């Protein structure tokens, strides 16, 4: 929804204000890692791992050439599964704090990430070329779909490429949407075409400099840092509440 939120601002009420991305200002450092693979939300708060998604990604990564300093970031339970699939490859795997993960992504020649909103915006802000894994959940389903439509994830594989009638629609209630997305993943994850589509997406490097430029330009188009705008406007809003 961050892509077209401006056109729907009126739905939030007459006093709603649009702010830019609320992410810390960061700078990209020198590239000391060939790739950072970020699974982000691959592990639920309960520690459970969706085996269909993890197995699919693990098999796809097994065909990916890793250069010096390559690292995979994920939850502990997810890493245990992936180690059994990938074995001893030129790829370190670890869990990391948010700050540490962003610092590693800032040092990468490219990032391969699940399409979570925070990681996407932070990578775009850094200007690091960003490629995408397929979505893990409902919000990532729509984030990746919109990014592909904007040409910001041109080679990314999406489950709906092979399952166009998934039934997943925008603004579905949570009780309905979660099972649909989970079923879509499980229906497609073992398909040979899905594996091939994922391999192609990871190897379709193209012009990484141009991709990073366009992704960073998109981030800039979202407006100035929202945290600063909120901090600036909050005292005025509190004064109005006190007067009311």
Taking only the tens of pLDDT, the chain with its 244 residues reads 456 655 555 565 566 666 667 776 777 877 888 999 999 744 444 445 578 898 898 888 887 778 888 999 998 888 888 888 877 667 899 999 999 999 999 999 999 999 999 999 999 999 999 999 999 999 999 999 999 999 999 989 999 999 988 889 888 888 889 999 999 999 999 898 998 999 888 887 789 999 999 999 999 998 877 667 767 677 776 766 666 5
pTM: predicted TM-score of the whole model, two decimal places: 0.84
Q: Which pLDDT does position 81 carry in this prediction?
A: 85
Q: Which residues pair with 157 in a beta bridge?
A: none
Q: What is the DSSP string of 143-162?
A: HHHHHHHTTSSTT---GGGT
Number of other CB atoms surrounding residue 17 within 10 Å: 11
- Residue 148 makes CB contacts below 8 A (sequence gap 6+) with 154, 156, 158
Q: Which pLDDT does position 242 carry in this prediction?
A: 64
Q: Which pLDDT does position 102 carry in this prediction?
A: 93
Alpha helices in 45-114 (DSSP H): 51-62, 76-86, 98-106
d(CA 142, CA 54): 20
Q: Which pLDDT does position 23 carry in this prediction?
A: 75
Q: Which pLDDT does position 38 carry in this prediction?
A: 95
DSSP-derived letter for residue 199 is H
Q: Which residues of 76-110 are buried (b: 16+ CB within 10 A; e: fewer)?
A: ebbbebbeeebeeeebebeeeeeeebbebbbbbbb
Contact (CB, 8 A) for 190 and 57: no
Contact (CB, 8 A) for 111 and 36: yes
- Give the three-state DSSP class for 112: strand
- Return the structure tokens found at 170: 């925008």
- Give the three-state DSSP class for 85: helix
Task: Write out the H or E segment, with its range, that includes residue 72.
Answer: strand 71-73
DSSP-derived letter for residue 83 is H
């Amino acid at each position: 929804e961050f892509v077209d939120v401006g056109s729907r601002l009126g739905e939030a009420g007459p006093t709603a204000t649009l702010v830019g991305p609320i992410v810390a200002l960061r700078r990209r450092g020198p590239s000391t890692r060939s790739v950072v693979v970020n699974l982000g939300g691959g592990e639920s708060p309960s520690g459970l791992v969706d085996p269909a998604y993890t197995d699919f990604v693990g098999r796809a990564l097994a065909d990916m050439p890793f250069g010096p300093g390559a690292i995979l970031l994920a939850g502990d339970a997810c890493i245990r599964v992936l180690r059994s699939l990938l074995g001893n490859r030129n790829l370190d795997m670890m869990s990391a704090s948010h700050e540490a993960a962003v610092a590693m992504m800032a040092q990468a020649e490219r990032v391969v990430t699940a399409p979570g909103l925070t990681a996407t915006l932070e990578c775009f802000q850094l200007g690091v070329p960003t490629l995408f894994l397929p979505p893990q959940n409902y919000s990532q389903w729509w984030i990746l779909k919109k990014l592909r439509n904007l040409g910001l994830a041109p080679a990314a594989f999406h489950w709906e490429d092979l399952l166009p009638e998934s039934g997943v629609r925008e603004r579905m209630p949570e009780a309905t949407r979660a099972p649909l997305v989970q079923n879509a993943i499980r229906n497609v994850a073992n398909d040979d075409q899905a594996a091939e589509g994922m391999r192609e997406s990871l190897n379709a490097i193209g012009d990484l400099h141009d991709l990073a430029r366009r992704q960073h330009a998109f981030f800039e188009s979202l407006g100035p840092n929202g945290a600063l705008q909120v901090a600036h406007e909050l005292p005025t809003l509190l004064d109005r509440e006190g007067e009311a």
